[in-house]
Amino acid sequence: MPVEVLLRAAAADAISRFGLRVEVAAVPPLPAMPAARGAALRGVVGECLANVAKHAGTDRAVVFAEADDRCLHVSVTDEGAGFDPGAVRERGIEDSIRRRVEGLGGSTTIRARPSAGTTVVVEIPLEAR
C-alpha cells in the first residue's frame, strides 16, 4: 500500500478518535509497502498520534514523510507540553513504538523538552532485512 495512504489513514483515525487536527505532509515520491510492513507503520504513527492526544496538551500534530534511496523517514511533531525523556519511563513508547520500528529493521529517535513539544522520528529501511 502507498505510504502516503497509510499515513493519511492513521491521521483520519486520530481525528475521529481524539478530535486531533492532523496535517500530513509528504515529499513525493514515497514508496509502497507490503501489507504487514504497512500495518506496522500505520500502528506506529497511530500510537504517536494517540500519545499527542493523551499527553501533549494540544489538539494539533504534523506527520511528515520523505524517502531517500534506502530509507523512509517519518516524523510526528506536536507543539504541546513536551517532557524530559530522561525523567520519564518510556515503557509505552518502548512497547508500542520502538519495538514495532525495530521489527521493521528501523530506528526511533525522540526529541522532547518540557514546554517545547515533542517530535518522534522513525527511519525504516525500504528493503526488509
pLDDT, tens digit (0-9, with 9 covering 90-100), for 36-69:
999 999 999 999 999 999 999 999 999 999 999 9
Q: What is the pLDDT of residue 109?
A: 92
What is this structure's pTM? 0.92
Model confidence over 93-125: pLDDT tens digits?
A: 767 888 899 999 999 999 998 999 999 999 999
Gap between the Cα atoms of 46 and 69, Å rounded: 25
**Domain enclosing residue 63, as ranges:** 3-125
Q: What is the pLDDT of residue 84?
A: 83
SS3 sequence of the chain = CEHHHHHHHHHHHHHHHHCCEEEEEECCCCCECCHHHHHHHHHHHHHHHHHHHHHHCCCEEEEEEEECCCEEEEEEEECCCCCCCCCCCCHHHHHHHHHHHHHCCCEEEEEECCCCCEEEEEEEECCCC
The CATH code of the domain that includes 108 is 3.30.565.10
The rounded mean pLDDT for the chain is 91
Indicate the number of domains in the chain. Answer: 1
